[in-house]
Amino acid sequence: MCICICFLGYLWEHNKMENVENGETIRDIAIKLLESKHKTDQNRDSTSRCIFVMGSKSCGKTTLINIFLDKDETLSETLGLEYTFGRKNIQGQLSEKNICHVWELGGDVFKTTDIMSVPFQAHKFCPMTVVIFLDLTQPKMMWTTLESCVQNLKSVIEKQGISNRTSADRIDEIQNKEGAFPLPMIIIGGKYELFNEFDNNFKKSICKTLRCVACLLGASLVFFSKSDQTIKRRIKDIFNNVCFGVESRIKGMIHDSNKAIFIPFGLDSWENIGVVKSSWDDIKHMYTTQFPQIQSSITVPEDPSLEANYREPLIDSMRNQREEELKLLLNKSAFSNF
C-alpha cells in the first residue's frame, strides 16, 4: 500500500524539476519505470482485472468496496486516490488466484484528469471496469458529476490510447451502439434508502434518465443501500462477475422506479424505457430542464501533496526520499552523456 502511494506521490510532479538534456522530468522517468515493470508482468496480468470507482462524495463508494472485499474496517473520507486489491482462487487451480486491483477516487477529485490517469498507467494490461457513483438525493448536482466523470475518462482514454485494448467481447457488445463507452461501466445510484422516500414522480424522472444514460453508454445500472442486505447481495454478485469472472447467480432485471433498480448491461432497451433512441445532449436537455444544475463549491488542488489536509508524515518522508533517489538517477544519466 505504502509503495503504491509513494509512487503515486512522485507522479504528481508537474514539470517542476529542471529538465535534463533529453527533456525528461522526474515524472517522465517515474512513468517509464512503471511501464517497464508492467511490460515484464504482462503475462501475469492475464489473470488480473481492475475496477476504478469514482463519483459523488460521501455516497457509499468505500462502503461498497469493503462489502465486496469482505473487509470490516473503520471508514474514513477518501481524500485522493486509494488502492487496494482482492484475490479469489481460480476454479480447479488451487495454486493460482485471480487478482482484482481496486482504485477509488475520492470526492470531487474526478474533476482532474492527471490523477485519473494513474490506474490506467498502472494496469495497462488488465481488463478495466469503470464504476461511477451518483448521489440519488442530489438531483441538481447529479448530471454535473456524471458528465464530468464521463468526459474526463474519455479524455484520459483518448490521450493514452487505452481504447486500443478494448476487449473483443466489449467491441461485440457495443457494436452499432453510437455513444457507447469503450470500457465496461457500472453506474451506481447511492443513498437509495433516502431516495426511496421521495415523491414517485421525482423517482420516475431520475430512474428514466439514468436508464437512458446506461442504455446509451452500454453500462449496467444498479442502486445501492448499505442497510439493505438484498441490495448488497446483488451488488456483490455483479462485482464478482466483472472482477473475477464468476458467473452471475442473479438473473433478470428490476426497472420499477419504486424498487431498487438492478439492470445488468444488455437487458434494457430504448423500447423498454418508453423513449426513442436519444443522444447525450438530448438526455442532458431533458434532465437539466427539470433539474437545473448547480456547481460544487469544492475546488480540487492541482497537487494535493502540497495541501495540509492531505499530509501523511510517513508517506511524505518516503516520497521525499524517492525524489532524492530520482534526482541522483537523473544526474548520473546527464553525466554519462558527456
Q: 290-309 pLDDT, tens per residue?
A: 999 987 655 555 565 666 66
Whole-number CA gyration radius for the chain: 21
The CA distance from 63 to 107, in Å, is 14
Residue 317 has pLDDT above 70, yes or no: yes
* More confidently predicted of 94 and 13: 94
pLDDT-derived band at 195 (thresholds 50, 70, 90) equals very high
Q: Which pLDDT score, from 0 to 100, does residue 20 have?
A: 46
- Distances, alpha carbon 36 to alpha carbons 24, 39, 48, 124, 271, in Å: 16, 5, 18, 11, 48
Q: What is the grid cell recorded at 221?
A: 445500472
The CA distance from 63 to 73, in Å, is 9
pLDDT-derived band at 52 (thresholds 50, 70, 90) equals very high
CB distance 86 to 67 below 8 Å: no
Q: What is the pTM of this model?
A: 0.74
> 58-76 burial by CB neighbour count: b if 16+ within 10 A, else e?
ebbbbebbebbbeeeeeee
Note the CATH number of domain 44-306: 3.40.50.300
Residues of the chain with CATH 3.40.50.300: 44-306
Give backbone dihedrals phi and psi of 177, rounded to 5 degrees, phi first.
Answer: -110, 90
Query: Would you call 316 exposed, middle or buried from its count of C-beta atoms within 10 A (0-12, 13-18, 19+)?
Result: middle
Q: Which pLDDT score, from 0 to 100, does residue 319 have?
A: 81
Give the torsion sign (CA, 20, 25, 29, 30): positive
Nearest to 260 by CA among 189, 309, 212, 199: 189
Q: Which pLDDT score, from 0 to 100, does residue 4 have?
A: 46
Nearest to 121 by CA among 162, 150, 170, 81: 162
Q: Which pLDDT score, from 0 to 100, does residue 294 have?
A: 87
Tens of pLDDT, residue by residue over 123-153, are 777 888 999 999 999 999 999 999 999 999 9
CB atoms within 10 A of CB 129: 23
**H or E stretch covering 84:** strand 81-90
Q: Which pLDDT score, from 0 to 100, does residue 90 have?
A: 60
